[in-house]
Structure 1
Amino acid sequence: MTALPVLPHELHGDGPHKVIAVHGWLADRSAYAPVLPDLDLGAFQYAVVDLRGYGEAREAGGSYTTAEGAEDVLALADRLGWERFSLIGHSMGGSVIQRALAAAPERVRRIA
């Protein structure tokens, strides 16, 4: 696996419940743009990410597997200082977050 310094991401909100949102296949973090106005940004803080090969991480090297995506998501949580968090995954992102849950069940509050 080629090291990625940090998944490109945007933070939204400042709430205590941390959430990482992972896009689906052939998409990027902009897929979540339509729902951002409806989120409770006082209760939650969202990190909306681009996986390797997508969006701002399009040129990032790697194996481009859901397992690698899960490792990258957990590494992002570490860099953000998030010990516990929830995960949202759309389409392929659902597989990524399931792998993240399997790798670190003690850290994940909820998945959707």
Structure 2
Amino acid sequence: MTQQDQQVRPFSAVLTEIGGGKIHARLSAQLAELTAAVRDTGKKGEITIKVRVEPLKKADQNTLVVTASSTAKVPEGDDASPTSVFFADASGNLRRDDPTQPQLPLAIVPGKATA
């Protein structure tokens, strides 16, 4: 029998049977999450599927263990890693105001509208 004569089983059919369909369900959820994140952020993402096939026993070439895993690289929005500038004081505490700069004595002038 030549390779052209062989019927190749679709990958998707095998994927739905690995782990009782758990990897297929996981991939479906990851794809939905990835699609939403790409639309929201305008950034690219990806899903990687890894399939490992190994013999169950070395003496039996026809009984195989198939393991599948997936990882998703979902893009995050610009607000996922917010940044602020802080100053460290002598004790190592973080402060918003520079502790080495004197504070200006500000006062509200009566009768003036504030914006």
Whether the TM-score (by the shorter chain) exceeds 0.5 is: no
- Larger RCO, structures 1/2 (Cα 8 Å, 6+ apart): 1
- State the TM bucket, normalised to the shorter chain: under 0.3
- Structure with greater proportional helix content: 1
TM-score by length of structure 2 reads 0.21
TM-score by length of structure 1 reads 0.21
